[in-house]
Amino acid sequence: MDAVLIPINSPLRAAEPRVAVLAAGYLSYDKYHPEWGQRSANSTATLIQVAGRTIVVDPGMDDAVLLAGLHAAAVAPEAVDTVFITHTHGDHYRSAHLLPNARLLCSGPEQNAWRARGAPDKELLGRMVPTLTGIAPGVRMVLTPGHTPGSATLLVAQAGQLIAVVGDAVDSLDFFMRREPSHNAADPAAERRNFQLFASIADVIVPGHGRPFRLEHGAPAAEL
Ligand SMILES: [Zn+2]
C-alpha cells in the first residue's frame, strides 16, 4: 500500500493534526468525461487525525484502494467521522459510501454548483453539509475555485509547516512545475492564480492525482 506520512520537522504536539496520504492518486487522459473527470483515474485520499477526529479528504472511487489505505493506517471505516470532498467529481467522492458514520463536508458554492448541474448522486447530495471555513482544530478550508466553481483546499498546520490538500487545483507535481491547469478545468485563469497562492503559502502540497511534494521558497523541491 502506498501510504505516505508527511514528514514532521519538529515535535508534534498532541493537539496538532497528523496528516497521512492513504493512497496517492493517478490519472490517465485516455478517457475523459466532463462530469466524472478522468475515468481511468483515482484521487489522492488523505487522512487527517486531530483532537479525536478522523477525517478523510477525497475518498476516491476505488473502494479496494481506500480500504487498503485505511487498513494500513489502522483506521476502521466506521471510525471516520468526517469526509471532506474538495469537489464533486466522481473520482474524488464515490467511495464515500464505505464510510457510514462520516459527515460529508463540501464547500457551499461547490454543493450549489453541483445541484445546478443535476447532481447525479442524489443520496450523496442529501448527506452533504455545506461548509465555509472551520473543519477541525488546525484544519481550515479556503475556496480555490477554478477546476470547478466551488473547488476548495484544506490547509493543515502540522508541526510548523503548512500542508495544502488541494484536490484538482493541482493534479500532480508535473502539473505544478508546468503551472498547467487540469485539462477539465472550468476556469484555467483561476487555476493559474491558485498556483501562485499555493506557492506563496504552502510547505507541502497534496495534489489530486499524485504523490505529495514539498516546496522550498515556493518552488517544488521533492516528491515525498
Ligand atoms: Zn480528479
More confident residue, 148 or 12: 148
CA of 42 to the centre of ligand 1 (A): 7
CA of 58 to the centre of ligand 1 (A): 9
C-alpha grid cell, residue 149: 466553481
Q: Give the per-residue pLDDT at 188.
A: 92
Nearest-angstrom CA–CA distance, 188 and 170: 11
CA of 11 to the centre of ligand 1 (A): 33
Q: Is the pLDDT assigned to residue 166 strictly greater than 90?
A: yes
Q: Give the per-residue pLDDT at 29.
A: 61
End-to-end CA distance of the chain: give it in Å, rounded.
15
CA of 37 to the centre of ligand 1 (A): 6
CA of 140 to the centre of ligand 1 (A): 21
Per-residue pLDDT of 111-126, as tens digits, reads 999 999 998 889 899 9
Domain of residue 45, CATH code: 3.60.15.10
Q: Give the per-residue pLDDT at 47.
A: 97
Does residue 212 lie in a domain region? Answer: yes
Q: Give the per-residue pLDDT at 7.
A: 65
Does residue 151 lie in a domain region? Answer: yes
Per-residue pLDDT of 90-101, as tens digits, reads 999 999 999 999
Mean pLDDT, to the nearest integer, of 164-176? 95
CA-based diameter of the chain, in Å?
A: 47
For 130, the domain range is: 4-219
Count of structural domains, the chain: 1
Does residue 64 lie in a domain region? Answer: yes
Does residue 42 lie in a domain region? Answer: yes
Lowest mean pLDDT segment, chosen from 1-10, 40-49, 160-169: 1-10
CA of 14 to the centre of ligand 1 (A): 32
Residue percentage of the chain with pLDDT more than 70: 89
Per-residue pLDDT of 62-79, as tens digits, reads 999 999 999 999 999 999
Indicate the pairing of strand 213-216 with strand 204-207.
antiparallel
Angle at CA of residue 31, ends 119 and 164, nearest 5°: 65
Nearest-angstrom CA–CA distance, 190 and 53: 32
CA of 207 to the centre of ligand 1 (A): 9
> Of the candidates 172, 177, 168, 159, which has an alpha carbon nearest to the alpha carbon of residue 212?
172
Mean pLDDT, to the nearest integer, of 161-175? 95
CA of 15 to the centre of ligand 1 (A): 31
Does residue 185 lie in a domain region? Answer: yes
CA of 47 to the centre of ligand 1 (A): 17
> Of the candidates 201, 205, 50, which has an alpha carbon nearest to the alpha carbon of residue 138?
50
Nearest-angstrom CA–CA distance, 147 and 157: 24
CA of 8 to the centre of ligand 1 (A): 27
Is 0.85 topped by the overall pTM? yes
Does residue 224 lie in a domain region? Answer: no
Does residue 73 lie in a domain region? Answer: yes
Mean pLDDT, to the nearest integer, of 152-167? 94
CA of 52 to the centre of ligand 1 (A): 29
| Angstrom distances, CA of residue 118 to CA of 41, 107, 213, 214, 221 | 22, 17, 35, 37, 41
Residue 67 near residue 80, CB atoms below 8 Å: no
Does residue 98 lie in a domain region? Answer: yes
Provide the Cα torsion 102, 107, 110, 111; round to 10°.
50
